[in-house]
Amino acid sequence: MASHKLLNTLPAPAREKARAMQQWLHIDTTGWRHSESPSATLSLFQESIWSCQKVTITYAAKTRLISPLGLVVKGKTWYLVALNSEGEPRTFRLDRIEDAQTTQERFTRPPDFDLAAYWTESTSTFRERLPQYVVTVKVSPKGQAQMRLWSHATVLERSEPDEDGWVTMRVDFEGEENARFHVRGMGGNRILRREEYFGKSTITEATTSWERKDTAHV
């Protein structure tokens, strides 16, 4: 990775300090569905991470005593990774922390904790739990070019092109509105087979259009 190459160019003392900083701050440039500004408590957590001081927070209407381990920036949203009272790592979104107070109690940072590895694993689990909005579409060659610009969508299955270059796909979107925006934005470059979340009238209309397309090839 580029960051590893950069680290190797630093003098030994600076290199060790930079490696330590990687365990306190991780930057994830990919987005979720929207982003928010950093919380006003950001500086408090930066200091508590540096000094290994426990913090009392109010989160989801509950008061918790946590041991801050690191901060993650995803898009424009800040997250705090901290140990809960049972010593298990948890993720807290900074703009949802209602109150935060530094305590005088210190903690020992787990020597084997890897912030980037934890974040990768936890976000993978989060994505697996996202609701699925699967749409089956038949897409023209022009529509396939449009799809390369899509975000928050995964092609689950893809057929071989027919004689006109149209391809049938099953696409999983991150949310109904996202599916509506992308699929309907393709206009005549796609024909819907099934939209389980778009309403019965759309399903009927889509099936009729699909059958007309298939009949044209008979």
Q: Which domain-ending residue is among 73, 93, 128?
A: 128
Same domain, 77 and 40: yes
Structural domain span for residue 162? 133-216
Q: What is the pLDDT of residue 41?
A: 84
Using alpha carbons, list the distances in angstroms from residue 191 to 71, 115, 187.
Answer: 44, 44, 9
Q: How many CB atoms lie within 10 A of CB 36?
A: 13
Among 145, 150, 142, CA closest to 189? 142
Among 190, 169, 165, CA closest to 180? 190
Same domain, 108 and 185: no
Type and span of the H or E element at 158: strand 153-158
Task: Give per-residue pLDDT as tens, 194-204.
Answer: 444 444 334 33
Please check whether residue 149 is in contact with residue 8, taking contact to mean a CB–CB distance below 8 angstroms.
no
Q: Give the Cα separation of 65 and 101 in Å (integer).
A: 10
Q: Which domain-ending residue is among 128, 148, 166?
A: 128
How far is C-alpha 155 from the chain's CA centre? Answer: 17
pTM (two decimals): 0.51
Beta bridge partners of 92: 80
The amino acid sitting at 156 is L
More confident residue, 189 or 166: 166
Q: Which domain-ending residue is among 104, 128, 152?
A: 128
Q: pLDDT over 70 for what percent of the chain?
A: 64
More confident residue, 137 or 132: 137
Tokens 């699967």 -> residue: 134
CA angle 74, 78, 81 (to 5 degrees): 100
